[in-house]
Amino acid sequence: MSATNAPRPLVSFDAVSKRYGSVIAVHTMNLEIYEGEFLAIMGPSGCGKTTSLRMLAGLEEPSEGEIQLDGQRINEISSVERDTPMVWQSLALFPFLNVQKNVEFGLKMRAIPTEERQQRARRWLERLEILELADRDISQLSGGQKQRVALARSLVTEPRILLLDEPLSALDANLVVRMQGVLSRLQKELGITFVYVTHSQSEAFAMSDRVVIMSQGRIEQIGSPKAIYRSPASRFVADFVGANNILSGSVTGTGDALGISTAVGHFLCNPSAAVDYSEADNLDMVISADLVQISMENPTLQNSLRCRFISEEFVGSIVTIFAELEDGSDFKVQARQRDLANMALEEGATFFASWNASDAHLISPNKA
């Protein structure tokens, strides 16, 4: 990509840390957020994702480092002056104002004349398909309607960046999927940078251009949803994302395919990354559950394991099978329900799980 076509950073975190007394919530964060992208920050509770978002919003000040917005240092700039509106998990709508006046609120704080702010608010209510609710009290709205009001209130000021802190967590499953579509469409139409904090993999992967995975205040990996799903950079990411199986072992042979010895057998792997492995190197082999095939007879694929059926989780057309290996460790397989229809999978039954050497991903703590 030429320099002229390279994405332009709108936000930069430069060695940013945040401490609360002796507790370090964010460790030396270095992150660029590009203009017009949808970035999701993901991780377990307490990983630092919301603290990072609050520092960008101006609700927390970094203990060290610098945050820049469009090339300007904003550490000491108040949240009001930053123009970085946030859609909260609780939505934080004003119950004493109707829908129209909730949306107008940010414009009123900017001293926008009454007629103009009313027109702009109504345009956004129409854009979010809730104009007919303009005179309703907040208490009369459904969860999805409240979500749209909160979005309209944040977007009516036409900011360059919108921050969202787990905004869909209180909605039921059907509404979550519908609101994902609304958010994705708006972000693409407006070209506004969205920074979206969530603990939900499905939300992050469905909407974002890039995903940041955090753990214990540190960034573990940044990449596209597909890259993170198929090529986790650490054991933490492999455990946190997807339905991965992790077999620890050591290299027993090199060449076109690596030989890997583990507690449950010897396997072959074609590493996708250009990493030089040596005999006896320790590593983790990651096999995604959806890349594993299941059979009742010994399969013909390069790698296979004998498993004992424990239970299954049925979700529509996809079934996740939970099994136990010979050493007592767990193993998961995801398959279509129709592919399992003729298999006698009952508790305690044995079957074979198999995969190709090219479908395993290697993680090595002692290799860059």
DSSP for 229-253, please give it: HHS-SSHHHHHHSSSEEEEEEEEEE
pLDDT of residue 366: 53
Which residue, among 85, 67, 83, has the nearest Cα to 75 in the 3D structure? Answer: 67
> What whole-number distance in Å separates Cα of residue 68 and Cα of residue 66?
6
Domain boundaries, the chain: 3-230, 243-363
CA angle 103, 104, 109 (to 5 degrees): 125
> What whole-number distance in Å separates Cα of residue 322 and Cα of residue 319?
10
**What would the pLDDT profile of 235-261 be if each residue is shown by its tens digit?**
999 999 978 999 999 999 877 788 999
**What would the pLDDT profile of 130-161 be if each residue is shown by its tens digit?**
999 999 999 999 888 888 898 899 999 889 99
**How many CA atoms within 13 Å lie on the side-chain side of 65?**
23
Q: What is the radius of gyration, based on Cα positions, of the chain?
A: 25
- Residue 54 has what DSSP assignment? H
Helix residue spans in the chain (DSSP H): 49-57, 79-82, 99-109, 114-127, 143-155, 173-190, 201-207, 225-230, 235-240, 337-340
> What whole-number distance in Å separates Cα of residue 281 and Cα of residue 274?
15
- Mean pLDDT of each 10-residue bin along the chain, 368 residues long: 67 97 96 96 94 95 96 92 85 89 90 93 91 93 88 90 87 82 89 93 93 96 95 93 92 84 92 73 93 88 92 86 94 89 84 93 69
Burial 102-117 (b: 16+ CB within 10 A, else e): bbbbbbeeeebeeeeb
Amino acid identity at 323: A
- What are the backbone angles phi and psi of residue 50, rounded to the nearest 5°? -70, -35
pLDDT of residue 57: 94
Provide the β-strand partners of residue 353. Answer: 294, 305
Residue 214, Cβ neighbours under 10 Å: how many? 26
pLDDT of residue 367: 44
- Is residue 53 a contact partner of residue 163, using CB atoms and an 8 Å limit? yes
At which residue do the structure tokens 């007629």 appear?
A: 115
Q: What tokens does 250 get? A: 């050591």
- Per 3-state DSSP, what percentage of the chain is helix, strand, and coil (rounded to 5)? 30, 35, 35
Tell me the three state secondary structure of residue 335: strand
CA angle 292, 294, 300 (to 5 degrees): 85
> What whole-number distance in Å separates Cα of residue 138 and Cα of residue 99?
6
Superfamily of domain covering 3-230: P-loop containing nucleotide triphosphate hydrolases (3.40.50.300)
pLDDT of residue 1: 45
> What whole-number distance in Å separates Cα of residue 334 and Cα of residue 321?
6
Q: What tokens does 75 get? A: 């550490």
Residue 187, Cβ neighbours under 10 Å: how many? 20
Which residues 6+ apart lie within 8 Å of 212 measured at CB?
31, 39, 40, 41, 42, 49, 219, 221, 222
> What whole-number distance in Å separates Cα of residue 283 and Cα of residue 166?
35
Domain 243-363, CATH class in plain words: mainly beta
> What whole-number distance in Å separates Cα of residue 49 and Cα of residue 37?
18
